[in-house]
Amino acid sequence: MPTIALSERPDAIAPHGGQLVNRIATPEQRQEFLDKADSLPRVKLDKRATSDLEMIAIGGFSPLTGFMEQADYESVVDKMRLANGLPWSIPITLSVEEAIAAPLKEGSLVRLDDDGGNFIGVLELTQKYSYDKTHEAIKVYRTDEDKHPGVKVVYDQGAINLAGPVWLLQREPHPQFPSYQIDPAASRALLKEKGWKTIVGFQTRNPIHRAHEYIIKCALEIVDGLFLHPLVGATKSDDIPAEVRMRCYEIMKDNYFPKDRVILAINPAAMRYAGPREAIFHALVRKNYGCTHFIVGRDHAGVGDYYGTYDAQYIFDEFEPGELGITPLKFEHAFFCEVTETMATSKTSPSTPEQRIHLSGTKVREMLRRGELPPPQFSRPLVAAELAKAMKEKS
């Protein structure tokens, strides 16, 4: 299996597990797979599984080399660790219906197609196993309600998990954001080129509002650079589309951040909305991209009222210091303080609760749907104008 040796960048933070995985087929392997294409049994991947295949192949999910076997799956669900004890908080599985799994033989190759029927990868099937969907939902998402978008995905998917190493047939340019497609090997090289020793990663599925900007800039005071890493894989239908969010990130990068201290790159992964567990997962992924620090704010990766405001911060304390290999930067809920007329938190503001304007992506979306332009306390005017334009075009 091709890997990038840690010795190639001795000053870098180690990828999770020690080596950066590369499961992109070589030209020779690709041709061999293409020659067998018509004779291989096929499994069609949904958008999330396609993203997972991609993230495994490029090393974003290192040390995973494929979809999880039963021992790893059960250990992750129950203990937030792979079977070998390495921390990992989200199961990465390929689930299919029993009728699809039945004819597949362990030890054989399976052709993986995207939802358009295009041949994109190969699975070396090492194991087929059933699993308890409700148990996974309760352990990973802390609820068995199908109103939770992550739980609904689990309930809707097949009853059998297919496991084994994978190969991505070919790394294609991202159809929407090719210039921001910076895979872990490339991001690590870029960070080395810039000479950054400390890098903070920021996860977002929403346009950056003023509270985000505030905590990012606080983090930038103590590190060399920012890895602004918006997620562009599958999200909820009511989340703001990726192309709109990317335009907002570009506006922020070009106008409100120091240009020489920010890298903007896309994260092809899909959202799970798993709250605390996904905060750990997001941190480990950014570790693989070369980040040394990771911002964890209010209700990270949350949805609805399923998680406490700071549960995603508390979960990091369940691991030994240094065990995750990346440092979480935990921030209080930021707001616009009407007394000081600046962004602040309860740690720095002299205001009373009534003098605090709390911001959120949800509030911004609600205002836009009502045809209201978010005020400057919520969003930078250039960003607000871009969001309003996109909402008008959609209407």
Looking at the annotation, which residues are catalytic? Answer: 205-206
Q: At what angle do helices 381-394 and 361-369 cross, to 10 degrees?
A: 50
Contact 81, 313 (CB under 8 A): no
Among 277, 188, 262, CA closest to 219: 262
Q: What is the DSSP letter of 265?
A: -
* Beta bridge pairs of residue 117: none
The enclosing H or E element of 124 equals: strand 119-124
- DSSP E strands in 159-312: the ranges are 160-168, 199-204, 225-230, 262-264, 293-296
Q: Alpha carbon 153 to chain centroid distance?
A: 16
Contact 3, 16 (CB under 8 A): no
Q: 225-230 and 262-264: which strand pairing?
A: parallel
* Beta bridge pairs of residue 4: 20
Distance, first Cα to last Cα, the chain: 49
The rounded distance, in Å, linking the Cα atoms of 187 and 191 is 6
The rounded distance, in Å, linking the Cα atoms of 120 and 113 is 5
The rounded distance, in Å, linking the Cα atoms of 313 and 320 is 14
Q: What is the DSSP letter of 23?
A: -
Helix (H, G, I), strand (E, B) or coil at 379: coil
